Amino acid sequence: MKFVTLVREEQRYACPIPCLPSDTTTASPPTAMSKLLDFYQPPLNETFQFSIELQQLLNGRKLLLQEIPFPIHLIHDHYLNGYVSYNKSIKEENGTYTCLRCGNTEKHLFAKYQCARCDEECTYCRHCITMGKVSQCSPLITWSGTPIQYPKQHRPLRWEGKLSPGQQQASEKIVQAVEKSLRLEGCKKVIGQQQEVPLVPNDVTKSEKKLNTNVHCLTLHQLLLSIFNKQRQSQTVQQNKLLVWAVCGAGKTEILFEGMNRALELGQNVLIATPRSDVVHELTPRIKAVFPSTSVISLFGGSEDRGKQGQLVISTTHQLLRYKNHFDFVVIDEVDAFPFSYDPMLKYAASQSAKPEATTILLTATPDKNLQKQVTKGTLDAVKIPKRYHGHPLPVPTVEWSGNWRKLLSKGLIPTNICEWLEKRMNLKQQAFLFVPSVAVLQKVVPILQTTYPSVEGVHSEDPDRREKVQKFRNGDILILVTTTILERGVTVPNIAVAVYGADDDVFTESALVQISGRVGRSAEYPSGDIVFYHYGKTEAMLDAIDHIREMNKLGGFS
């Protein structure tokens, strides 16, 4: 859609062509939104009867025009009355493009095409195209009117469980982080009001002030500004973030409960973001159960909650591209996981979705070297939990040589020791994961195994039945599940055994192997279990993963 700029009361404002007044004579040439000269945001008209439905859709979000199922005339009326903002989606400066939705500046990730909407050559961003095409003629629409305010709740948490000492320490740190963020926001609001109230005792006279050099006459504004700057300096050191470094099975979700409870008591918007949709599906019913009076929505590709409002949002990190300056309390679960750890776009989305003074909690069992370096330098606050909630040590993997598994697979064969391991699981009627390095390997392994074990199933990221298969496995309807690393995190099944087929493959990094090993022994009823790395030559990643697990056990007080 093309836009023009019009002069109204000596101010230049944007106007889509379908909303152009019939008597207009001073409009600029029609063009794409991103090519317009700068225009102003009309002030808020508090007497305007705004659309509650539009507010519900846009509050805290930045959406493409084509994502908004409302007439353009209604949207434009809200813009003219200060309730909606038009934002350029792509910025061009000295021949360099920036996508203002995903932050992309890579030249090779932009392309041009002859656009039917604006009838011009239009540049679009290829990096975030799976979330809808952002092009120069596609404005990003945000809500600038009255935000939705959630009421402060009294103790919304309904959970009777008990935290371990390690969990309790982390939980208290998270609550402290919420309180620190609240103090910063309070100082900031008061400073913004420019209050100039002298802070001196009422009984101190002018002559006493002159005689007593220890009495200082500061305004409230000056004092708060001083406090705020000191807090900000401290907060910069801590990056307004807390890293919770907890072993797999430490009970990271339960650690969050009190911090989330405090944020909800304050009427804050809460986000739990995770790189993978499987984790969203697992977390949603657990969170709804312990916060029954709170509006909870779940966002992922194809989610039925898309477009809905909720005070507590559980989302994949990709969906955060549609939010802006919305969340007060942000949790990034499995911060080291693919694709979040590899894609700057997702980090940008998480950052943009949070308010400037938001509390941000990073959760992981395997922080990358950059996060570990920040902790060592003291620029990132952290709490470490080296012991599982049930107090038992982490199961340590064993390694077994399985020969040239690739060559055997090309002949339609599975290494004998892996077959024997699977046979044992079948005899024990014990559920098991068999991790494989790729979809190509999975598609060969599953049919071979099914000739002997018909109940074996396979699942990978592109499997259309992925969600149903994972749920069947959780329910105990599938005994052996062959999977890629897509299920290395977030799926908890009691009394499970795990084997890694081709553990020497490059895809099995130290982090991946630690996470895979963490599937075992998570239940208090079954705190131990079998985890085997089958290989055609030990790798550093395998040995580092075993060392990592042993070191955590040592820190947890186990020899």
pLDDT in tens, 428-474: 999 999 999 999 999 999 999 999 999 899 999 999 999 999 999 99
Burial tier of 305 (Cβ tally within 10 Å: 0-12, 13-18, 19+): middle
Confidence category of residue 216, pLDDT binned at 50, 70, 90: very low
Neighbours of 347 (CB within 10 A): 17
Q: What per-residue confidence (pLDDT) applies to 127?
A: 97
Cα–Cα distance, 123 to 137 (Å, whole number): 9
Q: Does residue 546 share a domain with residue 404?
A: yes
CA 173 to chain centre: 20
CA 337 to chain centre: 11
Q: Which residue has the tokens 């371990």?
A: 164
Domain assignment present for residue 342? The answer is yes
Q: Does residue 425 share a domain with residue 331?
A: no
* Structural domain for 42, as ranges: 3-143
- In this predicted structure, the answer to whether residue 416 has a pLDDT above a threshold of 80 is yes
Angle (CA) 307-309-313 rounded to 5° is: 100
Q: Which residue has the tokens 């299920």?
A: 487
Cα–Cα distance, 69 to 90 (Å, whole number): 22
Domain boundary among 143, 163, 184: 143
Q: Does residue 522 share a domain with residue 436?
A: yes
Higher pLDDT, 23 or 180: 180
Q: What per-residue confidence (pLDDT) applies to 449?
A: 97
Mean pLDDT, residues 477-498 taken together: 93
Domain assignment present for residue 192? The answer is no
- In this predicted structure, the answer to whether residue 221 has a pLDDT above a threshold of 60 is no
Q: Does residue 246 share a domain with residue 100?
A: no
Q: Does residue 439 share a domain with residue 341?
A: no
CATH value at residue 264: 3.40.50.300
Return the bridge partners of 497, or none: 432
Lowest-confidence range among 16-30, 243-257, 354-368, 466-480? 16-30
Domain assignment present for residue 7? The answer is yes
Domain assignment present for residue 235? The answer is no
Domain assignment present for residue 214? The answer is no
Task: Map residue 256 onto helix, strand or coil.
Answer: helix
pLDDT digits 0-9 by tens, 191-206: 455 444 444 444 444 4
Q: Which two tokens stand for residue 152?
A: 């402060």
Return the bridge partners of 13, or none: 6
- In this predicted structure, the answer to whether residue 297 has a pLDDT above a threshold of 90 is yes
Rg over CA atoms, the chain: 28
The dihedral of CA 212, 218, 220, 226: what is its sign? negative
Q: Does residue 452 share a domain with residue 344?
A: no
Q: Does residue 133 share a domain with residue 26?
A: yes
Domain assignment present for residue 181? The answer is no
- CA distance readout (Å), 458 to 212, 320, 477: 81, 30, 13
Q: What per-residue confidence (pLDDT) applies to 490?
A: 73
Domain assignment present for residue 204? The answer is no
Q: Which residue has the tokens 């470094």?
A: 245
Q: What per-residue confidence (pLDDT) applies to 23?
A: 77
